[in-house]
Structure 1
Amino acid sequence: MIYNRLKNLRFFRTLLTLFNNISLHRKIVLTYFFFIFMLVGILAASIYTFTASTIRTQSTFSLQQSFNQASSYLTYKLNGISSSSDMVIYNVSLNDILNKDKNSYSVMEQVADSKTILHLMKSLQESEDIKRARIYVPDQLIYSGNGVNICPLSQAASSLWWDNLFRKKGLHLFVGNDELEDIPYRNQKCIALIRAMYRQNDYSELSFILRLDIPRSTVESILNSANYTNDSCTLLLDSRGKIIAGSNTTDSIPLSKENPDYLTLPAFTADSAVKIQLSGQSYMAMQTLIPGTEWNMVTLVPYSSFTLALTSLVKIIIGVSFLILLLAWFLSKPIAHTITRRIDLLCRYMQRTKDGILQEAPDVIYRDEIGTLYENYNFMISRIHTLLRENYQMGRELKSAEYKALQSQINPHFLYNTLDMISWLSYQNKSAQIGDIVYSLANFYKLSLNKGKYIVPISDEISHVSYYMKIQDLRFSGNI
């Protein structure tokens, strides 16, 4: 049914006509190559479909694993710093010092207490994850002007993070380097954990603020570990899309020239690998909210890099398929030649037969269909030769019979006419002429018998004709 429908198509009919008009050798080569091409194509598509699905699953799993490990490790680091802050926030000695009545707080006591506070801050700085520990205390205290580990609350009140801290009611607040009121560490950027503590006897009055500065390089090294490829990028973004920290490959993502510190991402599902479009480019993206912060950890992998294994797979499949097809093409020619060579030879012998040269083809040792054609052709030529010989022999016999029949018709008339002439000559008393005629007639019939021979010498044939002509000349009075 499908073939009948295809036959109604003009293009298919034209293609079928072209195919039928080419040589058998080319038909075999094209047919062989076509089916090999179809087989290789189906096999390549099947391999690609199965392998590509496996590679995508493995790539997605690897991306999720590296991302989840990095996010878990970052959460672990930040929780560790939060735990360190708990030691300060809930330190009994520190709270007792900063909850003293300022009216009865002597200078000597303040100096002694400042040493205790400094010792506590410096003990926090012994951790490799904390670059600097700082505490903000009321401005009335004489040690509030330390400027390194102890600062006045008025300095904190002028910072960008002040409102956000109290919007969270003094609980854990992580801020980026750009929101810090100063940059106390040359050539090193930080992020900070800020917490507020209220007076024990009056929760409406602020007692102190603790700030722990974390080297941004520590966070960036964790973000680097989440990169799935060399050109992928992992970022920490706040709720506004501002970049808090990023891996060393931030150049691989399209940032706005007007706001290079911000990245606007389309909404997509958290904690799963999703394909997104960013500035006209495709990325595989993952994001998750870091617990205890308002930050999102985001990994962006260029889709071309994510599918690099698939690209390599496609190249390998195309290369192997091309080699197989090339080998099939070269193998199809000798295979087609072995089939068509004998047919071409038989066609040449048939062409000679058409031109009148009846020659048998060489004997073949193969007993396939072509061998049967050779055998039948040779039988046909042999039969034609036999028929030609029989026909030639029959032709000769027919001519001989016709000749003899003609002779048998001629001789009675000749004899009758000669005897009639002798009779007339006898009435005229022409005995000399009668003698000549009788002599010639006797020799004529003597030579006609030829002693039973079919072939006679030319001299006898000439004498035979001469006697015949002499009798006829006498009959017609010398007019012959």
Structure 2
Amino acid sequence: MFTILAIALKRLLVNHQRSLEKMKHTKGFSMNHFTIMQTIIATITVVLAVSVTISALSVYYISTRTSKDLVYDQASEINKQIVFNYENYTNRVEGIANLLQKKALDYDMMMDKEQVLDLFSTLENLEDSIVSVVLFDNSGQVIVSTQNIEKQFSLIALQEWYKTAIFDAKIIHFSSPKMQEIYEVNMGEVISVSKAFEYQEGNIIKSGVLLIDMNFEGLDSLSNVSNLGEKGHILILDDKDQIVYSSDVSQYGYNSKSYNTVKALIFGSESLTINGTQVVVNINTIGSTRWRIATFQDINAFEKGTTNALYTAASVIVITMLITILVAYFVAMQITNPLKKLNKAIVRFHHGNDDSKVEIEGQKEITTVITGFNGMIDRIHALMDEVIKEQESKRKTEIRALQNQINPHFLYNTLDCMIWLAEENRNKDLVDTVGALSTYFRVSLSKGKQFIPIFEELQHIESYLLIQRMRYNDRFIYKIECNQEIAELRIMKLILQPLVENAIYHGIDKDDQKSWISIHVFEEDGYVILKVTNSGYGITQEKIEEIHHVMEDGNKKGSIGMKNVYRRIKLFYGEKAYIQIASELDETTTVSICIPRDKLKVQILEQGDKT
């Protein structure tokens, strides 16, 4: 971190000097020729000039464009949206009819009439405006109905909706509103949807007519959500120009019976004056029904909104310009004065003047920069020295670690053990020892890697323990455990061997009683813990404190292995890494290396370890 700060400051100074030199030789226009204050004022002036020009042109364009064109464009779009909504409504009804046709062929009307009635009732509930669904045969006889029918069969066949469906069987027909008199209960005025319908009866496909009657609830709901304004109005006309639906006929003083008095006006012009109110008229066709929707919208409401918006925009532009010009100058002064002082200090520091501190003033961000600059001047030399010392310390620690890896006494003792096994013809033990020694050195070298997975570190320790147990003629046993969730995490290699070596040296019972060593690696409270426990005489609390003191004071002698591990984890994993020692006299001794879990990942990136 210190190195990065020093390098960043050096680059800042170099780039600043290069900028000064470049300004001396650069020809032509460049913002670099201006001070920050000049740049701020010039930029704001240009932006304001462009903004005012664009605003003035926009106001001129809006003012010269007729209000009538704006109203007609918006009214046309609203009408198209309303037509789209009503088309969706009629399409849903058609979809229900088509779904009934598809499902009905799965049933036999003679055997499954109850199931068909349930189907009709279910689909009837999909649309709130549907009041009944009835299926008739080709003679007008009721097959299935969700409502009780009163009319005689011969009269059903004479209904207009019935004859229309029989005459043109390929499409779905929508009728004009009327009183439907075929039910026992008065349904009021309804719109009838009819279509030719095929059904199965005794394995024979027969033809009939499906009737869906709808009230005006669906049309009313669409009218209520239409954005037509306070005096807006909707008329729906059938293909014979008769009123199917009117959202508020009383608004204009006519009703469905006297509609012909205004029909000529609607189809002859784009605007009308009704009861003293000028309205825009738009008409579009609903494709599936061939109905037409006429929308009426108040022109004055649109013009008033446009005028208000124009006045508001002009006022905002003028006020913004005045405020911006006043604020820009004040802000520029507040920003540039401290920066000018900082700029002069940087130049002095670049020329070797170490006493280049700047008085802290200005906005929070600027004072933060100045404070950081002053702090870097005070500490830059000390930080560089500290970085050099830190790197040197790391190199020395690594050298000591490498020296500890190649322990000539351990190698000599192992070779002596192998010779003894060969002389005793203990070939299997000899093979095991050679294999363990091979694994030991393979992990020790690790192709030059500084970090290895935890499971490889444990393989290295197991090889070491196998060789030592052979040397000590099976005078101890050992157990190695590791949680699988952390076995793949990479740690600094060869940090367990000094702990295990101490456990063997101090833990083996000199009375030839079998001792034991336990190695357990697990995660707890955000730390990865490598715990080595051995049986034996234990150590006193005073001795534990002495060992801690030796580890923390690098100049004191003793506990070389423990001190080496302690220094390495501190250098690589930071101050939060630590070694914990616990002991019970005549029972056990436990030494734990505790490393923050998140530091394991970070160290892999920082050290550039090869994988």
| Interval containing the TM-score (normalised by the shorter chain) | 0.3 to 0.5
Q: Between Structure 1 and Structure 2, whose CA radius of gyration is higher?
A: 1
Quick check: which one's strand share is greater? 2
| TM-score using structure 1 length | 0.43
Where relative contact order (Cα < 8 A, 6+ residues apart) is larger, the structure is 1
Of Structure 1 and Structure 2, the greater helix share is in: 1
